């Protein structure tokens, strides 16, 4: 993409309504624009990143054997009356009437809708296990929408629902989700720690929240510092292997890690030596639940088992806050100049800054770099505008592309361009050919990532 032809409405001023750094940078970098309280328009670059996160979530869900589909955002109240949640949900549910005076609502989550599809179509244990999911806009009329996309009213969420014959099978589905979430967050360059959580209105005994540590997080968290040494890495997982998924769950959840809702100080001090006890803040980026048969009982989601007996299915639901993740990634990865995107989610793989647009050698060198990098299957963002070098660098730093290639007539006289790492700020001079090779080495193994193959951690292959 050439910046001269793109739509990137970068702001010079810091918007005063933004209280935290991710919100400020998302507005300043032209990623989002507020439409009304807690509701945002996604401008081209914000939309591009949102799509990348969505793609990663799709890939990792499908790798785990979960099946994508799409539910309507507007639902009838009748379904929600069956589960009892139409009255229970409270003012966070946005309610409306259609022209026939029927009660409708904008889905804040979708247990009822998925359970309804299930019960209308599945009658036998032979069709289990089954996990269906969607990535769809949700609406919750939050009392205090704030921090930009972190606590919006409209937000983009992956929600998945497992249907299993037995509790044991449903717990395997729970473990599978935990494993797939660990992979998902790591590919986004994030450490999200599974913490024992409170099941709240959904109910049930098994639930973990995934938290990204950040000072601006809304939850207080208590954990054993050893947890932050754990990484999922490139290990291969057979998602059908019950013991393997269980072992990962144990590895990542056996140490003390809880949100304030489940924290018990005595247990904390008994289980964790003092020098490893940490109290911090975290951003909730996902949650998994097993809740048994409570929805299937109420809504009649039954299958016949091996003996021909009709039994309610065991269910769980599992969410990832896709739009909130943009904010969480920025909270975890930025400096005083702007965002620093992890390679796995960056909107463009590198920036190319032409210091002298209109000067033939500079233009030609930039075009050649642009073509070579594009030929690798990567997307460069070429700043070909007539602007000062300082202003161009400031924009590149603000929007946070991990790598920048700077091209100017002076360097070209010596046959070199400059390659700068956004994270370290270190620059290196090299020939344009070597610069292309370097970018290829950084992203190369991930080009054309194939869903059937073990996934390199930072693949950017797109799903759509
Ligand atoms: P919270 O406690 O932050 O209100 P929740 O526990 O009610 O969230 P879930 O029902 O578990 O949320 O939804 C799954 C995920 O969706 C959450 O982990 C979070 O990342 C995201 N999410 C929930 N509410 C919002 C919101 N208002 N804005 C953006 N993302 C949200
Ligand atoms: Mg939650």
This model's pTM is above 0.85: yes
pLDDT at residue number 358: 96
Residue with the nearest Cα to atom 25 of ligand 1? 151
Mean pLDDT score across all residues of the chain: 94
pLDDT at residue number 449: 39
23 lines ligand 1 (CB under 6 A): no
DSSP at 273: -
Is pLDDT of 452 > 60?
Answer: no
pLDDT at residue number 61: 98
pLDDT tens-digit readout, 179-203: 999 999 999 999 999 999 887 655 5
256 lines ligand 1 (CB under 6 A): no
Ligand nearest to the CA of 38: 1
154 lines ligand 1 (CB under 6 A): no
pLDDT at residue number 14: 85
Spell 330-353 as b/e; 16+ CB within 10 A means b. Answer: bbbbbeeebbbbbbbbbbbbbbbb
- Looking at the chain, the domain(s) classified CATH 3.40.50.800 span 350-462
| C-alpha of residue 34 to centroid of ligand 2, in Å | 24
Residue with the nearest Cα to atom 31 of ligand 1? 321
Residue with the nearest Cα to atom 2 of ligand 1? 284
Give the three-class secondary structure for 25. Answer: helix
pLDDT at residue number 457: 37
284 lines ligand 1 (CB under 6 A): yes
pLDDT tens-digit readout, 414-446: 999 999 999 999 999 999 999 999 999 999 755
pLDDT tens-digit readout, 239-295: 999 999 999 999 999 999 999 999 999 999 999 999 999 999 999 999 999 999 999
pLDDT tens-digit readout, 128-180: 999 999 999 999 999 999 999 999 999 999 999 999 999 999 999 999 999 99
Spell 225-257 as b/e; 16+ CB within 10 A means b. Answer: eebeeeebeeeebebeeeebbbebbeebbebbb
Residue with the nearest Cα to atom 4 of ligand 1? 151
pLDDT tens-digit readout, 400-414: 999 999 999 999 999
Task: Report the share of the chain in percent with pLDDT over 90.
Answer: 92
CA distance 199 to 213: 21
* Token pair belonging to 375: 């030929």
319 lines ligand 1 (CB under 6 A): yes
Give the three-class secondary structure for 246. Answer: helix
Give, to the nearest 10 degrees, the angle between helix 360-375 and helix 432-443.
Answer: 30
Q: Which atom of ligand 1 is nearest to the CA of 200?
A: 6
CA 339 to chain centre: 16
- Looking at the chain, the domain(s) classified CATH 3.30.930.10 span 3-339
282 lines ligand 1 (CB under 6 A): no
Residue with the nearest Cα to atom 16 of ligand 1? 321
pLDDT tens-digit readout, 74-111: 999 999 999 999 999 999 999 999 999 999 999 999 99
* Token pair belonging to 282: 């975290």
Which superfamily, per CATH, for 3-339? Bira Bifunctional Protein; Domain 2 (3.30.930.10)
Give 350-462's CATH code, choosing from 3.20.20.70, 3.40.50.800, 3.40.50.9100, 3.40.50.1980.
3.40.50.800
Ligand nearest to the CA of 210: 1
CA distance 116 to 206: 23
pLDDT at residue number 200: 66
CA distance 100 to 85: 22
| C-alpha of residue 217 to centroid of ligand 1, in Å | 13
140 lines ligand 1 (CB under 6 A): yes
**Closest to 356 in 3D by CA, of 365, 369, 347:** 365
């Amino acid at each position: 993409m050439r910046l001269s032809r793109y739509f990137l409405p970068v702001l010079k001023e810091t918007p005063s309504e933004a209280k935290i750094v991710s919100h400020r940078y998302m507005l300043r970098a032209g990623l989002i624009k507020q439409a009304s309280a807690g509701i945002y328009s996604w401008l081209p670059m914000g939309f591009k990143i949102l799509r990348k996160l969505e793609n990663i979530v799709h890939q990792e869900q499908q790798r785990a054997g979960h099946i994508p589909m799409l539910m309507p955002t507007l639902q009838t109240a009748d379904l929600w009356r069956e589960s009892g949640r139409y009255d229970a949900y409270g003012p966070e549910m946005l309610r409306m009437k259609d022209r026939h005076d029927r009660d409708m609502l904008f889905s804040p989550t979708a247990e009822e809708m998925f359970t309804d599809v299930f019960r209308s179509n599945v009658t036998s244990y032979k069709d289990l296990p089954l996990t269906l999911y969607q990535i769809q806009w949700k609406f919750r009329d939050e009392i205090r929408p704030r921090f930009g996309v972190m606590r919006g009213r409209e937000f983009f969420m992956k929600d998945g629902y497992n249907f299993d014959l037995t509790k044991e099978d449903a717990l395997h589905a729970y473990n599978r989700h935990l494993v797939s979430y660990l992979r998902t967050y790591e590919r986004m360059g994030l450490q999200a720690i599974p913490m024992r959580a409170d099941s709240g209105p959904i109910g049930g005994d098994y639930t973990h929240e995934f938290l990204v540590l950040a000072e601006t997080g809304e939850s207080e968290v208590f954990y054993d510092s050893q947890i932050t040494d754990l990484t999922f890495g490139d290990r291969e997982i057979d998602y059908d292997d019950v013991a393997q998924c269980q072992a990962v769950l144990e590895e990542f959840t056996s140490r003390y890690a809880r949100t304030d809702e489940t924290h018990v100080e005595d247990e904390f001090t008994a289980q964790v030596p003092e020098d490893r006890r940490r109290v911090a803040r975290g951003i909730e980026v996902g949650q998994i639940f097993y809740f048994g048969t409570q929805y299937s009982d109420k809504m009649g989601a039954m299958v016949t088992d091996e003996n021909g007996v009709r039994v309610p299915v065991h269910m769980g639901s599992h969410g990832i806050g896709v739009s909130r993740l943009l904010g969480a990634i920025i909270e975890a990865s930025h400096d005083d100049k702007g965002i620093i995107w992890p390679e796995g989610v960056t909107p463009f793989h590198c920036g190319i800054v032409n210091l002298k647009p209109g000067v033939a050698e500079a233009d030609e060198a930039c075009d050649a770099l642009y073509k070579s990098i594009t030929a690798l299957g990567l997307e460069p963002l070429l700043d070909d505008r007539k602007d000062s070098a300082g202003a161009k660098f400031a924009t590149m730093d603000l929007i946070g592309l991990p790598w920048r290639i700077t091209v100017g007539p002076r360097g070209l006289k010596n046959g070199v361009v400059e390659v700068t790492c956004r994270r370290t700020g270190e620059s290196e001079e090299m020939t344009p050919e070597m610069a292309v090779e370097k970018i290829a080495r950084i992203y190369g193994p991930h080009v054309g990532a194939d869903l059937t193959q073990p996934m390199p951690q930072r693949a950017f292959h797109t799903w759509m």
